[in-house]
């Protein structure tokens, strides 16, 4: 099955990724980097100009070369009088690889282009991935801080990536919820496509897990409550997110959770997209739902609830629900392996929270919460120390037995014999016993699968 996995903001073929459970998400392996290319004439035209100075500065800042090594290469180039370029010299001395140079070139090009977005003043880079670079900027007209996401230049002529980039902006613009990162503008400056959004001054849930190992139960419940509220709004607007994970939940310094990255969001009514994406798995392996893995056409809100459940699990246990050496192995376990109950991993966890997580992560969508509203009801109960009303309620055997006994005739008490048959009382006893055993078996199976 074709596979499109999210690596932070990047997507890559399955064969080029290796999971890193400590990080909670797969990291792109070396094979995910662009194929090497020979230095071109643009490098030669830049040699001896300010570009070499900028390139050298970034290489030193990133630790690829030392300041001394850079100066030696520049001095050697100047002394030789040859038309060689700084990148060629650095590779000749085996100080950097072509892939490293290509990444730095791409970032430099993006940095330079980002300085020319009308109405905005770039302040600093916030982060970068294969699919986008994000900057902190000031919107001059309103004197406010914003985040600007730029599509890498290598995708600036790719209609598919451009459409996906603008689709994210359009989807975000449909939402008006305090727990979803707001969208302000999308546009193009020259050949640079940009998306302006709300700036969240804080960290991601992934950052918090990395720092503390796992979150306190009460804190995790509150974060999940806010994200569930965001999902309720998004689903009511007819959209599914399809990539719920710790890295896509921003936390402001005021403690407000903000759902971010709508790059995979899809309208529930978008039949054309559903057909085009059928048979492909979109999402992040550690948090992806079974129906997304199967590439089903009918992907609904339940997929987001599963991703939120996997995120909840990671928050309160400090580990992802399923791990493996490859994305394929991880996803196969989502499909087939039983979930280790979260309170078995973290014995301090309350039974109510464990039950909520297990219901969220049911493999069959029909066994999960009907919608985010039901989840919010249970989270409110669990936060108060009460039992959830929708999750974790197997049939009460004693009550069932009492009901059956009440409907079984009490008289006559003596054993009556049918002509040529078994005693009536014995038959009644066997029937009741059989029913109780069937009920016990069903309940056991339900609890085991939950």
Residue 233's CB is within 10 A of a number of other CB atoms, namely: 19
217 is written with which tokens? 């139960």
Active site residue 177: no
Q: Could you give the CA distance from residue 322 to residue 338 in angstroms, rounded to a whole number?
A: 9
> Is residue 94 left, alpha or beta, with left meaning phi > 0 and alpha meaning psi from -120 to 50?
left
CB 77, CB 86: distance < 8 Å = yes
Q: Could you give the CA distance from residue 58 to residue 65 in angstroms, rounded to a whole number?
A: 9
Side-chain-side CA neighbours of residue 57 (13 Å): 7
Angle at 73 between CA 69 and CA 76, to 5 degrees: 135
User: Among residues 32, 43, 52, 243, which one is catalytic?
Assistant: 243
CB 448, CB 337: distance < 8 Å = no
Q: How far does Cα 92 stand from its chain's mean position?
A: 41
Closest listed residue to residue 100, CA positions, set 126, 127, 65: 65
| 139-170: b (≥16 Cβ within 10 Å) or e | beeeeeebbbbbbbeebbeeeebeebbbbbbe
CB 286, CB 320: distance < 8 Å = yes
In the beta sheet, which residues pair with residue 18? Answer: 27
Length of the chain: 450
CB 314, CB 246: distance < 8 Å = yes
Write out the H or E segment, with its range, that includes residue 5: strand 3-7
- Placement of tokens 């550690």 in the chain: 286
| 292-301: b (≥16 Cβ within 10 Å) or e | bbebbeebeb
Residue positions annotated with a catalytic role: 243
């Amino acid at each position: 099955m074709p596979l499109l996995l999210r690596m932070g903001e990047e997507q890559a073929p399955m064969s080029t990724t290796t999971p890193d459970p400590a990080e909670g998400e797969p990291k792109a392996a070396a094979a995910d980097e662009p194929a090497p290319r020979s230095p071109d004439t643009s490098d030669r035209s830049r040699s001896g100009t300010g570009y070499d100075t900028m390139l050298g500065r970034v290489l030193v800042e990133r630790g690829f070369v030392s300041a001394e090594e850079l100066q030696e290469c520049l001095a050697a180039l100047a002394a030789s009088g040859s038309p060689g370029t700084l990148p060629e010299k650095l590779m000749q001395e085996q100080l950097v690889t072509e892939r490293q140079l290509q990444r730095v070139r791409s970032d430099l090009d993006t940095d330079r282009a980002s300085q020319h977005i009308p109405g905005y003043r770039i302040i600093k880079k916030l982060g970068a991935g294969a699919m986008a670079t994000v900057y902190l900027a000031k919107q001059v007209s309103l004197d406010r801080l914003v985040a600007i996401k730029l599509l890498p230049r290598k995708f600036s002529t790719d209609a598919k990536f451009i459409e996906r980039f603008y689709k994210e902006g359009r989807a975000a613009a449909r939402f008006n919820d305090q727990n979803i990162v707001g969208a302000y503008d999308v546009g193009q400056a020259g050949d640079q496509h940009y998306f302006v959004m709300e700036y969240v001054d804080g960290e991601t849930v992934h950052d918090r897990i990395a720092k503390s190992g796992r979150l306190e139960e009460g804190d995790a419940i509150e974060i999940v409550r806010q994200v569930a509220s965001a999902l309720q709004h998004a689903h009511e607007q007819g959209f599914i997110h399809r990539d719920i994970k710790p890295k896509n939940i921003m936390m402001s310094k005021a403690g407000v959770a903000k759902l971010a990255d709508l790059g995979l969001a899809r309208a529930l009514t978008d039949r054309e997209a559903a057909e085009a994406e059928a048979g492909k798995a979109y999402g992040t392996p550690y948090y992806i739902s079974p129906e997304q893995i199967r590439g089903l056409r009918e992907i609904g809100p339940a997929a987001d609830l599963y991703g939120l459940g996997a995120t909840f699990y990671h928050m309160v246990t400090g580990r992802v629900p399923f791990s493996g050496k490859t994305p394929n192995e991880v996803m196969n376990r989502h499909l087939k392996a039983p979930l280790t109950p979260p309170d078995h991993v973290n014995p301090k966890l309350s039974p109510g929270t464990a039950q909520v997580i297990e219901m969220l992560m049911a493999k069959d969508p029909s066994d999960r919460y009907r919608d985010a509203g039901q989840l919010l009801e249970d989270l409110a109960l669990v936060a108060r120390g009460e039992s959830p009303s929708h999750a974790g309620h197997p049939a009460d055997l004693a009550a069932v037995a009492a009901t059956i006994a009440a409907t079984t005739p009490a008289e006559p008490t003596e054993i009556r014999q049918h002509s040529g048959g078994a005693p009536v009382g014995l038959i009644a006893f066997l029937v009741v016993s059989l029913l109780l055993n069937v009920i016990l078996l069903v309940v056991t199976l339900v609890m085991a699968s939950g």
